[in-house]
Amino acid sequence: MKFELQRTDVNTAARAGLITTGHGPIETPVFMPVGTIGSVKAVHQWELKEDIKAQIILGNTYHLYLRPGTEILEKAGGLHKFNGFDRPMLTDSGGFQVFSLTGIRKLREEGCEFRSYIDGSKHFFTPERVMDLERSIGADIMMAFDECPPGTSDYDYAKKSLGLTHRWLDRCIRRFNETEPKYGYSQSLFPIVQGCTYRDLRTQSAEFVASKGADGNAIGGLAVGEPAEVMYEMIEVVNDILPKDKPRYLMGVGTPVNILEGIERGVDMFDCVMPTRNGRNGMLFTQDGVMNMRNKKWEDDFSPIDPKGTSYVDTSYTKAYLHHLFKAQELLALQIASIHNLAFYLWLTHEARLHILAGDFASWKASMVKRVAERL
């Protein structure tokens, strides 16, 4: 994997770059739709490529391991062949999912024992096992196995957890270097910076991660309940340390405003389930703000869903029609809303890139933050 830093904004830390992988290029900043089990919910692969213009999507090691299983994925020739998406993919290690299973998992130095949410069967993840699983899945970018502590963790627990994450990272790197890709193209391993909302722990973790010289680096454990201002502060602390010549990935974030604020602070890559999950529940994101499509106010509004979004959505769908579909519990509502929201998120990050390259990102971002935060 290669990363070319093409321009940094003169007034902020915002960056435009180009990542090159075995499955093609990724222009940054970029939003990555979440395809947890090899599928972005309610969206076809051709829609991802042609309508949404997704450059890269995510899969999740924990979920793909449980179902369909890496044996099936290996027989298929990897996740790209299995789901038919021939552009870059990234796999989360499953750390967040495993550690969110409070009450049905046991954590120790060697790894984490957990029970399947599907059938209750017992499983055990170690850093080495997760690297092997991600090799079998075959994503272009593999995430290290870490512990994602609760956002409310006290300092002692956060410090102990960070030590474990760092020791596991060394084991991930060792196993990654001992193994080879299985499907004829290279894979990259991204370490993850943790440390909750404690400045000294975030600093320590960023320095440790930066010292590994990985192809790219991630920031985890944010947007888990802390105030937005604290999240932005932690991003600044970490990005002041992470190498500028490597891509930076902020995991699981977030709202359109969060993404714009992250870009301003030097983040290159984002993912979040919000566009699809909220879309399936009737919440649509537009250039003028957020709409709840179940509200009666849209019942006889025959204007396009996003009148300013002619470059990324089908303007033949009206607010009234989508309101009707949600009220009638028609499955097409979920599809239209998901595609619209993802297309908007991809448009937003691409527009940010264009304004970084043009040199007017700061003024554009300031006006856009006010608009997308409105409740319509």
**Active-site residue numbers?**
92, 271
The first and second tokens of residue 221, run together, are 């454990």
In angstroms, the CA 349 to CA 88 distance is: 17
User: Which residues, in sequence order, are CB contacts of 299 under 8 Å at separation 6+?
Assistant: 320, 323, 324
Q: How far is CA 286 from the centre of its chain?
A: 20
Burial 320-359 (b: 16+ CB within 10 A, else e): ebbbebbeeeeeebbbbbbbbbbbbbbbbbbbbbebbeee
The first and second tokens of residue 372, run together, are 């997308």
